[in-house]
A = this chain, B = another copy of it.
Amino acid sequence: MFLGEYTYSIDEKKRLAIPPKFRPTLGSRSVLTRGLDRCLFLYPLKEWEQLAAKLSGLGLAQADARGFARLMLAGAMETNTDAMGRILVPDYLKEYAGLEKKVVVAGLYDRVEIWDEKTWSEYKEKTESEVGDIAERLKELGV
């Protein structure tokens, strides 16, 4: 289970450290792809395989489903973590997410998300004001 948010910097060789707590769960092979809302998704290989199967089964009928599947499948790339637990972020993904120097790595239960620090803080502020009453939402979930 991935939890928490961490800040790292991408070095000039496009290497990005993964939080030590995430490393055992991710394993040595993981998949990096375009995510929603201008961030990147990072999955353990097994989780990715399940998701990819679901995505390719999404039927060709709807244009938006096709677009979504293309976004994630076409942009996917397997990444090997080096001895220090870092992954290499390819140019086209770095550009997609607008990653500058400072980057936020966030754990979201079954996946890891990678955001540019600025984009992340803007998104959080926006969401906090829109989501409104957290207590109400939690009650809907039966907590």
Interface residues of A (CB under 8 A from B): 1, 3-5, 21, 31, 36-37, 49-56, 60, 63-64, 66-78, 90, 92, 106-110, 113, 123-124, 127-128, 130-131, 134-135, 137-138, 141-143
CB pair B108 A141 closer than 8 Å: no
Residues in B whose Cβ lies below 8 Å from that of A76: 3-4
> Which 7 A-B residue pairings sit nearest by Cβ, starting from the closest?
A67-B127, A74-B106, A56-B109, A4-B77, A73-B108, A5-B74, A54-B141
List the number of copies, as a whole number: 2
Residues in B whose Cβ lies below 8 Å from that of A1: 49, 52, 78
CB pair B5 A109 closer than 8 Å: no
Q: Kindly identify which residue among B21, B49, B67, B141 contacts A131, using a CB–CB cutoff of 8 Å.
A: B67
